[in-house]
């Protein structure tokens, strides 16, 4: 499909503006030390944290993948967004206070402080592989699929273009450049997404509310939030266990232990600002189903001429978004892709540099001895040359990560419902990782060997459930894997530790007190989620 000159001008203008803005931030940001480059000098305000969390999370995976699942499954897929909103509040109240008090800056760093270097290195390597070979490649693929469908750009060229766009501010600028460009891009992606939703709902029923009513009337089966076993998509969203089972594992893992998400909160000015920013992101998550799910359901009602579910959102943009607004919607999509790729790249580089390269390859014994001290204090132990070397390693790894993504992304072209694919296969590791973090944070007897066993058995147990019990939905398998891994870790810990583990974390209950602003925003989120489930139960 050919874009009008107006739409093309908007898209090109957006790309040029964002790349110029990103380069400007990159050049003007302080990045003399590892703390500057990887942690934005711990200077992010709450609004930057909230905006960056959403921008890092919302990508082609949501616009394309969740719209595709909306087309195939219906509004039930919004459970991922709604439960994520509640999860963000849990992470802000119970995880962030401990991480920030203990001066944690990467998730593998926490694992060494709580356990040992084996656990840190093992999961650091896994996370880097996951970020580079799964997350970056999938986001580039889904984004290129949309650009190919809407603009007619060949997939390979679209992948290369998106990679260059993302690299312009992620490689040289570090976390501060990523976070500040995220704030701008999140405004664009929300506005552009709302434009697309409004126009397709207007086409369905002559307005937003009348359009929603028409969707419910014509496709009531697409608005069942709790699927029963007769629903063909039950294996992906298994009824009531969505609310009480494995989806909690997926969400707590993603929002509470995933470096490229939680890194923003850890780089905040203070705990209160980190919590407020996270709560603000939770409010936006409640609104996102209107942007990323409703267009897919509308495509179903409008009998979209598509061959696979993930083509639903591009079809809506091509057929129901008018001249000028199509350019805005495309700019929003590009913003979502660019911000997510930049965020993943930055976090992959952070973990590789600080948790793999530095402890394993820095030659100075003094440097090795300082690995576990807080990064801002540790930085003072390094020479200017050594600091610059860490920043240089981070930049090179960022570039290599993007290049690998460009090479692998075209091989994913046969996927359908990529969002569900990502959730299932990330679920091979998330139960084990979450078990290690939950027990490490909140159970003082958890031993180092138990954590190491948890790392080793996570994937085999998840694979065993998949292949030996194929009739169990993957979310339920995640829940069962988490319970089994936790039980094994607890048995090992009780055999090894008669009392608290020497590296146990101690904290006072007062640590979990939150501000009035956080409490009000949390109440709004909880009531909104409850109202949606009550309406579409």
How many distinct helices (H) and strands (E) make up the chain? 29, 0
First to last CA, the chain: 39
pTM for the model stands at 0.84
User: Do residues 304 and 312 lie in contact, with contact meaning Cβ atoms separated by under 8 Å?
Assistant: yes
Beta-bridge partner residues of 44: 268
Do 50 and 265 meet the contact criterion of CB atoms below 8 Å apart?
A: no
Handedness of CA 232, 233, 236, 242 (dihedral sign): negative
Contact by Cβ (8 Å): 356, 117 = no
Length of the chain: 537
Structure tokens at 86: 């509640």
What's the CA gap between 300 and 204, in Å, rounded?
11
Residues 292, 88, 51: CA angle, nearest 5 degrees = 60
Please state, in angstroms and rounded to a whole number, the distance separating the CA atoms of residues 453 and 466. Answer: 20
Q: What is the largest CA-CA distance in the chain?
A: 72
Cβ burial 12-30 (10 Å sphere, 16+ → b, else e): eebbeebbebbbebbeebe
CATH assignment, 5-27+36-417: 1.20.1730.10
The predicted pLDDT at position 402 comes to 93
| 366 CB-contact burial (10 Å; exposed 0-12 / middle 13-18 / buried 19+) | exposed
Consecutive sets of 10 residues in the chain, 537 residues long: mean pLDDT of each?
Answer: 81 87 73 62 78 78 81 90 95 93 84 88 86 86 80 88 84 71 79 88 89 91 88 85 88 88 80 92 92 92 86 86 83 80 85 85 53 44 70 88 92 65 74 94 94 90 88 88 96 94 89 93 96 87
- Residue 375: predicted pLDDT: 44
DSSP state of 381: T
The phi, psi pair for 268, rounded to 5°, reads -80, 165
Question: How high is the pLDDT of residue 416?
Answer: 59
Query: Which of 329, 342, 389, 401 has its CA nearest to residue 21?
Result: 342
- Sign of the alpha-carbon torsion through 275, 278, 279, 280: positive
Give me the pLDDT at residue 367, please: 45
If we measure between CA atoms, which residue out of 527, 51, 48 comes closest to residue 284?
Answer: 51
Between CA 231 and CA 240 the distance in angstroms is 13
């Amino acid at each position: 499909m050919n874009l009008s000159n107006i739409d093309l001008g908007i898209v090109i203008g957006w790309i040029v503006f964002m790349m110029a803005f990103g380069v400007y931030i990159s050049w003007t940001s302080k990045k003399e030390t590892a703390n500057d480059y990887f942690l934005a000098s711990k200077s992010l305000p709450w609004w930057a944290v909230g905006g960056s969390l959403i921008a890092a999370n919302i990508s082609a995976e949501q616009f394309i993948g969740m719209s595709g699942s909306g087309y195939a499954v219906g509004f039930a897929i919004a459970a991922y967004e709604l439960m994520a909103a509640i999860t963000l509040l849990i992470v802000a109240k119970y995880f962030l206070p401990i991480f920030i008090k203990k001066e944690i800056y990467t998730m593998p760093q926490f694992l060494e402080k709580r356990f040992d270097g084996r656990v840190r290195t093992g999961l650091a390597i896994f996370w880097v592989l996951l970020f580079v070979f799964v997350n970056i490649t999938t986001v580039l693929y889904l984004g290129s699929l949309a650009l190919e469908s809407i603009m007619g750009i060949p997939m390979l060229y679209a992948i290369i273009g998106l990679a260059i766009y993302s690299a312009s501010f992620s490689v040289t600028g570090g976390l501060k450049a990523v976070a500040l460009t995220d704030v701008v891009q999140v405004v664009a992606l929300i506005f552009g997404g709302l434009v697309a939703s409004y126009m397709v709902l207007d086409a369905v029923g002559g307005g937003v509310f009348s359009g929603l009513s028409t969707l419910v009337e014509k496709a009531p089966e697409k608005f069942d939030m709790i699927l029963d076993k007769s629903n063909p998509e039950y294996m992906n969203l298994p009824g009531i266990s969505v609310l009480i089972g494995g989806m909690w594992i997926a969400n707590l893992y993603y929002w509470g232990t995933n470096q490229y998400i939680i890194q923003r909160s850890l780089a905040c000015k203070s705990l209160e600002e980190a919590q407020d920013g996270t709560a603000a992101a939770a409010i936006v998550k409640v609104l996102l189903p209107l942007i990323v799910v409703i267009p897919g359901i509308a495509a179903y009602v409008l009998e979209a001429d598509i061959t696979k579910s993930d083509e639903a959102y591009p079809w809506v943009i091509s057929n129901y978004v008018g001249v000028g607004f199509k350019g805005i919607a495309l700019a929003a999509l590009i913003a979502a892709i660019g911000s997510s790729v930049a965020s993943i790249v930055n976090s992959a580089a952070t973990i590789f540099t600080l948790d793999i390269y530095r402890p394993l390859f820095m030659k100075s014994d003094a440097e090795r001895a300082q690995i576990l001290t807080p990064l801002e204090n540790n930085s003072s132990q390094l020479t200017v040359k050594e600091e610059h070397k860490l920043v240089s390693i981070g930049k090179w790894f960022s570039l290599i990560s993007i290049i690998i993504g460009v090479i692998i992304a075209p091989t994913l072209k046969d996927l359908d419902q990529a969002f569900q694919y990502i959730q299932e296969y990330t679920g091979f590791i998330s139960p084990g990782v979450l078990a290690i973090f939950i027990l490490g944070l909140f159970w003082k007897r958890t031993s180092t060997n138990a954590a190491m066993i948890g790392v080793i058995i996570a994937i085999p147990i998840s694979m065993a459930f998949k292949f030996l019990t194929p009739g169990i939905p993957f979310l339920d398998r995640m829940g069962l894997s988490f319970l089994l891994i936790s039980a094994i870790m607890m048995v090992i810990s009780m055999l090894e530790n008669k009392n608290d583990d020497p590296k146990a974390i101690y904290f006072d209950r007062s640590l979990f007190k939150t501000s009035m602003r956080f409490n009000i925003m949390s109440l709004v989120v909880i009531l909104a989620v409850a109202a949606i489930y009550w309406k579409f139960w």
